[in-house]
Amino acid sequence: MANGGLKDDFSLSITVGGDAGQGVESSGALFTQALARGGWHVFGVPDYRSRIRGGHNFFQIRAARRPSLSHSDPVHLLLAYTRETIDVHKPNLAQGAAIIYDDGFRVDAAALEAEGFVPIPAPLTKIAEEHGSKLMINTGAVAAACGVLGFPLEPLVRLLHDTYGHKGKKIVEGNASVARAAYAWAVERYPGRLAYRLAEPGEVGEKTQPSQPGRELMVLTGNEAFCLGAVVGGCTFVSAYPMTPATPILEWFAARERELSVVAKHAEDEIAAVCMAIGAGFVGARAMVPTSGGGFSLMAEALGMAGMCEVPVVIVNVQRGGPSTGLPTRTEQGDLLFVLHASQGEFPRIVLAPGTHEQYFEAGWRAFNLAEKYQCPVIVLSDQFLAAARKSLPLDALTLDGVSIDRGALLSATELDRLDGPYRRYAMTETGVSPRALPGHPKAVFTVTTDEHGEDGHITEEIDLRVAMMDKRMRKLEAALADMRGPDLYGPEDADVTLICWGSTVGPAREALPLLAGQGVTANVLHFTDIWPFPVHKAEMALQGVRRAIAVEQNHTAQFARLLRMMTGFQVNGSVRKYDGRPFSPQQIAARALVEVGARV
């Protein structure tokens, strides 16, 4: 990472920190986007409190030569919007890290230097007031950071025009002027002084070429990737009651209703939201409900209604820390076992847990296919880390190759016209999936009830019929196993240690592998994305070569390890768990995995 030539595995971490309301996330997102436009692979993670004003927020960015799967510690550059930010983040700063802060702060620069850091007191307020307005101080801070890192200014200036163009020429020119002044100040005073830079020696200036010119990258949050997947999957109805961190999904669709011919409903509560979606799914819409754990709790009874009435619906549970209100803006994987058993009684459901932006995109269209093919609820388990993280992707990363629309056993009007006898909505079949007709056809008039019912939909309490209908519905899980994917293996097959994970922990876990290798431990990652019906046979085959297994989960009780043991009899040798609301870093996983390995040698 020093001033010599940059290596292919080079990466650099930046943190922007300050109080809520200071634009920490917006400037962090701006910096992330600018770095990507300059040809760097980026991964950005916001960390913010649930209150609107007050409290410390920060945004951590990783810029790398190669695609990144996670943020990374320690931090090499800190942009401090408050004095407190320096104290909060000092423990996570690398030796030689730079700290940019307004020169009006009361900071003991000599003490920072004695601790091995490079203090950079910058006249950010003065530059903003002289060249634009005081509100543009964040633009100046990001530009100054570009300057001290040797990163070209041009990508940031172009991005300012694209971002603020709708606000008028004065705003755009003011921000650009502030950026140029702050950049020039940084380049003049700190040329090549930092141990960590984003340019080869001598490559400093506004017209500096990016380290990897010609590479076009887009930057998306996980939620945005999922929304794009849902669109290509034919989603036409979204209903929700806003709940962090799932709200951006509703907002994304609401902003594009007319463009995409989608109905987006802001419901009065979570119960109304899920009932609206079930109703939309009943009449043929591909319907979805984004929520979090607390909202999903309120939807449990309606989930059972969808299961009994065999209505396709997709529910996205973007997990956060619980129970109750818990940690509204933090991340966790605490809802797994609850989701598998939510609502009373037994009925088929399918549960997917994507772990990367690409998998989240795929889950966006795949969930609708599974819901309609098996006429049951499909639950997509995400979390705040995956949902909010900003990641750079090549323009062709979210490919349409393989995207299909599978509506299952949906009868066409022509097929209904040819019916000789009465239509039986819940007809007995070998797969448990009955031919489905949408309301409105004269030969497809049928009864729907949440009580137990016969093939024609009428209520029944007959013992034999109850058993037959339960068996019919549950056969869907047997059929759906064919569509459930086994775990993916990353790393050497003959590794001494296997990190077993599900959902979003896969990124940090994979990034931990070279760290473990550096300590003499060969490791791989076994990652599960299809959770229910559990792919037992595929899991057992994958587990055959595992020598020592460590579960990596963001919950207190190692819920997936419990599920794995229940379904296969396989017991992990240890676990690395985290439930403080913050995502794993690769360094945390590697350090704690080494402890687990050492404790069992």
CATH number at residue 554: 3.40.50.920
Structural domains counted in the chain? 4
On whether both 54 and 185 belong to a single domain, the answer is yes
**Mean pLDDT, residues 259-287 taken together:** 98
Q: How confident is the model at residue 41 (pLDDT cuts 50, 70, 90)?
A: very high
Identify the pLDDT of residue 287. 98
Task: Indicate whether 122 pLDDT > 70.
Answer: yes
**Range with lowest mean pLDDT among 338-342, 419-423, 486-490, 591-595:** 419-423
pLDDT band at 259 (very low <50, low <70, confident <90, very high): very high
Final residue of a structural domain among 154, 183, 215: 215
Q: Which of 467, 482, 497 is the last residue of a domain?
A: 482
pLDDT digits (tens, 9 = 90+) for 488-520: 999 999 999 999 999 999 999 999 999 999 999
Mean pLDDT, residues 319-325 taken together: 96
Residue 446 has pLDDT above 90, yes or no: yes
Is the pLDDT score of 128 beyond 50?
A: yes
In a domain, 207, yes or no: yes
Distance (Å, whole) CA 453 – CA 591: 55
pLDDT of residue 207: 38
Q: Which of 427, 460, 482 is the last residue of a domain?
A: 482
Let me know if residue 6 belongs to a domain. Answer: no
| Same domain as 574, residue 509 | yes
Asked whether residue 184 falls in the same domain as residue 239, the answer is: no
One domain for residues 22 and 127: yes
70: left (phi over 0), alpha (psi -120 to 50) or beta: beta
pLDDT beyond 80 at 286: yes
Q: Same structural domain for residues 248 and 351?
A: yes
Pick the residue with more confidence: 382 or 395?
382
Asked if residue 579 and residue 510 are part of one domain, the reply reads yes
**Does residue 245 have a cis peptide bond before it, meaning omega lies within 30 degrees of 0?**
yes
Please write down the HEC assignment for all residues of 116-183.
Answer: CCEEEEECHHHHHHHHCCHHHHHHHHHHHHHHHHCCCCHHHHHHHHHHHHHHCHHHHHHHHHHHHHHH
The pLDDT of residue 215 is 66
Domain assignment of residue 531, yes or no: yes
Question: Around Cβ 2, how many Cβ atoms within 10 Å?
Answer: 10
The pLDDT score that the predictor gives to residue 213 is 45
pLDDT of 294 over the 80 cut: yes
pLDDT digits (tens, 9 = 90+) for 355-381: 999 999 999 999 999 999 999 999 999
Peptide bond into 91 cis (omega under 30): no
Mind listing the pLDDT tens digit for each residue in 569-578?
A: 999 999 999 9
40 domain residue, yes or no: yes
pLDDT at 540 over 70: yes
Q: Please check whether residue 568 lies inside any domain of the structure.
A: yes
Q: Look at residue 4 and tell me if it is in a domain.
A: no
Same domain for 267 and 383? Answer: yes
Residue-number span of the structural domain to which 45 is assigned: 11-215
Contact 438, 410 (CB under 8 A): yes
Q: What is the mean pLDDT of residues 515-529?
A: 97
* Cβ atoms of residues 245 and 320 within 8 Å: yes
Q: Looking at the structure, tell me whether residues 211 and 224 fall in a common domain.
A: no
**High-pLDDT (> 90) share of the chain, %:** 90
- The band of 196, judged by pLDDT with boundaries at 50, 70 and 90, is confident
Do residues 470 and 504 share a domain? Answer: no
| Dihedral sign from CA coordinates of 289, 295, 301, 303 | positive
Confidence class of residue 200 from pLDDT cuts 50, 70 and 90?
low
In a domain, 577, yes or no: yes
Q: What percent of the chain has pLDDT over 70?
A: 95
- Residue whose tokens read 């209903």: 239
Phi, psi values for residue 130, rounded to 5°: -75, -30
166 vs 210, more confident: 166
Quick check: is 20 in a domain? yes
Confidence (pTM):
0.94
